[in-house]
């Protein structure tokens, strides 16, 4: 059976204004369904039939949106905040009505990949501690990062609250030389998302993260064509990758 919805609800969700504004559009004859002027903004229509037009333009109805944002520093990963700018303020008006939220948090000073969506189920799966979604970060660290740190992270680092992290993979790009003022450059892949995890892992070795950028989450990699503050929708393949990854993970758990 075809699933139908109220015309005004669909158009409101597609960004055409409030229900009363849509009623006015319908009254003015701007909305057609199947080529005929819509009679009533409360009429039932099939959103998948592709038959609704506003001012002669076909309307694409969709429920979920998935955006990859290159988060710049200085923004908090929240939908609202009294003090700071939020990552939602970087998103254009066209997406406002979708009520997007960030999937997980990056610290205010952290940059890089942040997924925004209104798909609660996908977000829940990606954030679930049971799924162990890998997240890879590029970090610059004040101090010398050595094989001993790699080994310690592989075994699990003990954080300041006593928690021992799951094994994490540390790839040392440059060891760093504090005496010469050269920060270490590393990539770290973690499989959980404790508060300030990367910074606290390095803290456990007596070193300080001075720059942090997320490169990937699950199968999703930050598109290096996106400048800080820019975003784009995920491709079908990227979305499939995240979904497929999760089916595999849940089969195992």
Q: Pick the closer one to ligand URA by CB: 87 or 198.
A: 198
Options 23, 191, 196, 228; binder of ligand URA; rule CB under 6 A = 196
Identified catalytic residue from 46, 81, 107, 223? 107
DSSP state of 177: B
Instruction: Show the CA angle centred on residue 237, arms to residues 234 and 238, nearest 5°.
Output: 45
Asked if residue 199 binds ligand URA (CB under 6 A), the reply is yes
Quick one: which of 41, 110, 144, 165 contacts ligand URA (CB under 6 A)?
Answer: 110
- Is 107 labeled as catalytic in the residue annotation? yes
Which one of 47-55, 104-112, 143-151, 154-162 is the stretch in contact with ligand URA (CB under 6 A)?
104-112
Q: Which is nearer to ligand URA, 110 or 125 (CB)?
A: 110
Q: Which region among 8-16, 37-45, 103-111, 122-130 touches ligand URA (by CB under 6 A)?
A: 103-111
Judged by CB under 6 A, the residue of 87, 88, 212, 222 near ligand URA is 212
The CA-CA-CA angle for residues 124, 192, 90, to 5°, reads 60
User: Candidates 29-37, 61-69, 190-198, 240-248 — which segment interacts with ligand URA by CB under 6 A?
Assistant: 190-198
Output the CA–CA distances (angstroms, integers) from residue 243 to 44, 214, 239, in the order listed: 31, 20, 6
Instruction: Give the rounded distance of the alpha carbon of 242 from its chain centre.
Output: 11
Q: How many residues in the shown chain lie near ligand URA by CB under 6 A?
A: 8
Should residue 13 be labelled a site residue for ligand URA when binding is judged by CB under 6 A?
no
SS (H, E, C) 41-93: CCCEECHHHCCEEECCEECCCCCCCEEEEEECCCEECCCCCCCCEEHHHHCCH
What residues are labeled active site?
107
Residues that bind ligand URA (CB under 6 A): 106-107, 110, 196-199, 212
């Amino acid at each position: 059976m075809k699933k139908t919805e109220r015309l005004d609800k669909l158009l409101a969700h597609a960004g055409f204004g409030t229900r009363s504004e849509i009623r006015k559009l319908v009254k003015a004859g701007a909305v057609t369904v199947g080529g005929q002027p819509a009679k009533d903004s409360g009429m039932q229509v099939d959103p998948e039939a592709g038959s609704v037009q506003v001012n002669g333009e076909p309307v694409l109805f969709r429920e979920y949106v998935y955006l990859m944002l290159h988060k710049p520093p200085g923004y908090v990963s929240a939908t609202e905040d009294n003090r700071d700018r939020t990552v939602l303020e970087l998103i254009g008006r066209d997406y406002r009505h979708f009520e997007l939220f960030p999937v997980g948090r990056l610290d205010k000073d952290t940059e890089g990949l942040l997924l925004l969506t209104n798909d609660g189920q996908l977000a829940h799966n990606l954030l679930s501690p049971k799924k162990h979604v890998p997240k890879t970060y590029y970090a610059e660290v004040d101090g010398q990062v050595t094989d001993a740190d790699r080994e310690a992270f592989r075994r699990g680092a003990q954080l300041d609250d006593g928690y021992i992290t799951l094994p994490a993979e540390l790839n040392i790009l440059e060891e760093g030389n504090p005496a010469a003022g050269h920060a270490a450059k590393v990539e770290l892949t973690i499989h959980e998302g404790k508060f300030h995890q990367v910074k606290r892992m390095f803290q456990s070795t007596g070193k300080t993260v001075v720059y942090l950028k997320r490169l990937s989450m699950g199968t999703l990699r930050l598109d290096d064509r996106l400048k800080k503050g820019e975003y784009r929708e995920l491709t079908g393949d990227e979305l499939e990758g995240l979904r497929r990854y999760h089916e595999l993970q849940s089969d195992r758990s």
